[in-house]
Amino acid sequence: MNTAESTATVELACGKKSEDAHWENLLTYCKQGNIQAMFDEYAHLITNGLDADNNLVDNLHYTIASSMDVRTTIYTIDTFNAFKARANGTKEKPTAIRSHFAVAFTKGDGKEKDADRKKSVRNSFNSPFRPFVLASTSIGQEGLDFHNYCRRIVHWNLPSNPIDVGRILRTFKIKKNVEVTDNGKIII
């Protein structure tokens, strides 16, 4: 919540006057978004697969803290001008963009640092926190189950075998389609 994008989101949603303290707006934003219920649900999803006798609280703390500790990523993008410069044999300074809410899940170079990054990206994406968009190559389809909160998956290159199109845990999709009326009736 300390990036410019997050601050702008909170101020647009809850800032009534320019002199309102940001921390007050942040508390209002968290209350309106029911952050306690979100943490309760996330903790339940995490602990569902953990052994209760083996440092449950420490594992829960580590998983939540590490999923919120995703770093801003900088990507170099290819532009038409850079392509023309390369075609003409000249070199142009690469264009870089920062990404806070989207991240690439790529094969990498196989080093230990890369394996740690993949684990960090997977844990962060499988949480209700950013990144909210995960761009992946076919490595994202290799037996990895992604995102308890995923609404949809878009495949750039559909494989010939329908089994290979990837998997998502449909918890969020089901939760989104369940409605409880004022009289307590559940509609699916």
Per-residue tokens: 9: 């989101």
Looking at residue 109, what is its pLDDT?
59
Q: What is the pLDDT of residues 1-36, one digit of tens each?
A: 778 888 899 999 998 777 778 899 999 999 999 999
At 148, the amino acid letter reads N
Q: What are phi and psi of 95, to 5 degrees?
A: -90, 130
Tokens of 82: 């850079």
Question: For 66-125, what is each residue's pLDDT tens digit?
Answer: 888 877 788 888 889 888 988 899 988 888 988 888 888 776 656 666 667 777 888 888
| Cβ partners under 8 Å of residue 50, min gap 6 | 56, 59, 60
Distance CA 100, CA 3 (A): 9
On whether the CB atoms of residues 173 and 151 are closer than 8 A, the answer is yes
> What local confidence, expressed as pLDDT, does residue 15 receive?
84
